[in-house]
Chains A and B, each alone.
Chain A
C-alpha cells in the first residue's frame, strides 16, 4: 500500500529534550516536506527536500532541523524543543517535474506537546 508513515503519532515531552519525528514514504517520491498545523493558521511549511541531500527552509524553520540521507526518509529534528513548538505535524511527499500529478500525499500526523 502506497503511504507516508510518521512516528510517533503522539508525543509529550519537556522543554529542551531533543526529539526526532520520523517520516518514511514507499512511493519513490523525490519531494518531501514537513508542515505544522496550528489553530487559525492552517498548515505552514517548515522544511522541504527536493531530493536526497537537498533540503531547504520553508516558512517557519526556526527551531527545527531535517536531513535527507535516503530517498524514503525525511526525519524532523527538534534539538531543544520549546512550548511554542506544540503543534500537529505533517510529513508529505510527491513526485516532481512532469511526472507529478501535483498531489502531495500526507502522513497521519504527529501530535506534539512540549511542556
Chain B
C-alpha cells in the first residue's frame, strides 16, 4: 500500500516570493507516478504538475517545479514568484502503475499568498 504524508497543514508567504511545499511518500513499487493537485476555494481539483518515478529529471510547469528525491521518497513542490491566485489547498498524491489506478492523497497544505 502507498502512503503520502504532508507535514505542513498551513503555510503563508508574501506575494512574489518563493515557497516550497513538502511531501514524502512510501511505496514498495519501482515505477509509479506523483502529482501535485491544487484546490482553490471553488473546490475544483486542478492538476499542477506530475512526475514519473523512472524519470530522474525534475518536472517543471512554468512557475511550478518539483524536487524529486527518489531514494529519500520525497516530492516537494516549489512555487516561484507566487501570485494571489496561488492561494489554495495543495494535495500531493501518488499513483501506482499497477492495480486499481487509485490516487493516494496526502492530507493537504493550505497555502495563503499575502498581498
Q: Is A31 an interface residue (CB 8 A)?
A: yes
Per the 8 Å Cβ criterion, residues 81-105 of A in contact with B are 88, 90, 92, 94, 96, 102-104
A42-B106 in contact (CB<8A): yes
In the complex, A40→B106 CA distance in Å?
A: 9
Per the 8 Å Cβ criterion, residues 1-51 of A in contact with B are 31, 33, 35, 40-45, 48, 50
Q: Is A61 an interface residue (CB 8 A)?
A: no
B107-A42 in contact (CB<8A): yes
Q: Is A75 an interface residue (CB 8 A)?
A: no
Interface residue count on the A side (C-beta < 8 Å): 26
Q: How many inter-chain residue pairs (CB < 8 Å) link A and B?
A: 57
When the two chains form the complex, which single residue of B52, B101, B108 contacts A50, counting CB atoms closer than 8 Å?
B101
Q: Is B105 an interface residue (CB 8 A)?
A: yes
23 residue pairs of the A-B complex, CB under 8 angstroms, read A33-B103, A35-B103, A35-B105, A40-B9, A40-B107, A42-B91, A42-B105, A42-B106, A42-B108, A44-B105, A45-B103, A48-B100, A48-B101, A50-B100, A59-B102, A92-B103, A103-B35, A103-B50, A104-B95, A106-B45, A108-B42, A108-B44, A109-B43
A-B pairs, 7 with minimum CB distance? A42-B105, A106-B45, A43-B105, A42-B107, A109-B43, A102-B33, A45-B102
